[in-house]
Amino acid sequence: MKELVIISGKGGTGKTSIVSAFAALAENKVLCDADVDAADLHLIMAPEILERHDFKGGNKAVIDKDKCTECGLCRQLCRWDAISEDFEVAPISCEGCGVCWYFCPEKAIEFPQKTCGEWYISETRFGPMVHARLGIAEENSGKLVTLARQEAKKLGETRGLDLILTDGPPGIGCPVIASIGGASGVLIVAEPTVSGRHDMERVAQLAAHFRVPALLSINKFDLNADEAKAIEDVAVEHNIRVLNRVPFDPVFTKAMVQGKTIVEFDGNSEGNRAVKELWDQTRDFLEGRPT
């Protein structure tokens, strides 16, 4: 089974709109939303949740005031300044390292595992989908991404599918690293701006660092055709296969407002024709054909 992960570096370049269109165009696939921090794919896929599971993340320290003698050792050892002068642990600052719990001479600190979010197996009009929701202000997003991808793989194998189509998170940090390791390829969706070029280059370096083959498509290319060309030149330098460009087309926003993919909303639009060509090229890559 192949896995294609759509990433961008910079946020808001159109990852999820393109994944949605691919969902309508690709066959025999399972969908996976790996942007667990601000997941949006479900807004278009309208999944019917079949299974709901808790996501257990790390642990957090809690001080039992009855046992605490306020010796101050925990405050001295904590590198996150998470314990206040009156010996309360700030959950937002607690890293979950357990050092205070381990060393407390009075055993006054508990260290329970926390439920940090949920993950789901769902059915959509385009096939099965695995998605997740990290609790607000929670950590361990990388762990949840890894879990979602593993579950999508299991589901794909059980159902005899050929492809995992994964909507990745923005950035180059922990959740992105967790999203791309071991994938068949990443499609980088970039926008033709100086920020887009800067961010594309960093995410391209990340893909190279983890030895994942990368593809590039410039979205909204006509907002600055010179910049689009400059980004494609950077991609070629990084041995990235440059695929079809997608124009700025208000139909993408209109389709999103209706909760539809652009394929369903307006098959004759310029945007849809470009995305369809992009998908054909991406499929060729996944099936090992030259473009």
Partner 1 sequence: MIISVASGKGGTGKTTVATNLALSLDGDVQLLDCDVEEPNAHLFIHPTIDRTEAVTTPVPVVDEKKCTLCGKCAEICQFKAIIVIGETVLPFHELCHSCGGCVEVCPEGAITETGRELGIIEEGHRNGLRFAHGKLRIGEAMSPPLISKVRSLTKPDGLTIIDAPPGTSCPVIEAMKGADFILLVTEPTPFGLYDLELAVGAVRVLDIPCGLVINRSDLGDDKVKEYAEREKIPILMEIPFDRKIAEAYSRGNTIIEAMPEWEQKFVDLYEDIINIVNKEGKQTS
The 10 Å Cβ neighbour count of residue 84 is 12
The one among 7, 9, 132, 243 contacting partner 1 by CB under 8 A:
9
Query: Applying CB under 8 A, which part among 25-33, 62-70, 132-140, 148-156 lies near partner 1?
Result: 132-140
Using CB under 8 A as the binding rule, the residues of this chain from 217 to 256 that contact partner 1 are 223-224, 227, 250, 253, 256
- Taking a C-beta distance cutoff of 8 angstroms, is the pair 36, 118 a contact? no
Closest CA to 101 of 120, 73, 122: 73
Query: Where do we find the tokens 């098959």?
Result: 267
The one among 259, 267, 287, 291 contacting partner 1 by CB under 8 A:
259
Q: Taking phi first (over 0 means left), then psi (-120 to 50 degrees means alpha), and beta for anything else, what does residue 109 get?
A: beta
Query: Applying CB under 8 A, which part among 135-143, 155-163, 263-271, 279-287 lies near partner 1?
Result: 135-143
Binding to partner 1 by CB under 8 A, coded x per residue (else -) over 90-129, reads: --x--xxxxx--xx--------------------------
5 token code pair: 């992960």
The one among 89, 129, 132, 172 contacting partner 1 by CB under 8 A:
172
Nearer to partner 1, 7 or 163 (CB): 7
The 10 Å Cβ neighbour count of residue 169 is 27
- Tell me how far apart the alpha carbons of residues 26 and 19 are, in angstroms, rounded to a whole number: 10
Q: What is the 8-class DSSP label of residue 184?
A: S
Identity of the residue numbered 199: D
* Contacting residues toward partner 1, per CB under 8 A: 8-13, 16, 37-38, 40, 43, 58-59, 77, 79, 92, 95-99, 102-103, 134, 136-139, 141-142, 169-174, 176-177, 191-196, 198-199, 202-203, 205-206, 209-210, 223-224, 227, 250, 253, 256-257, 259
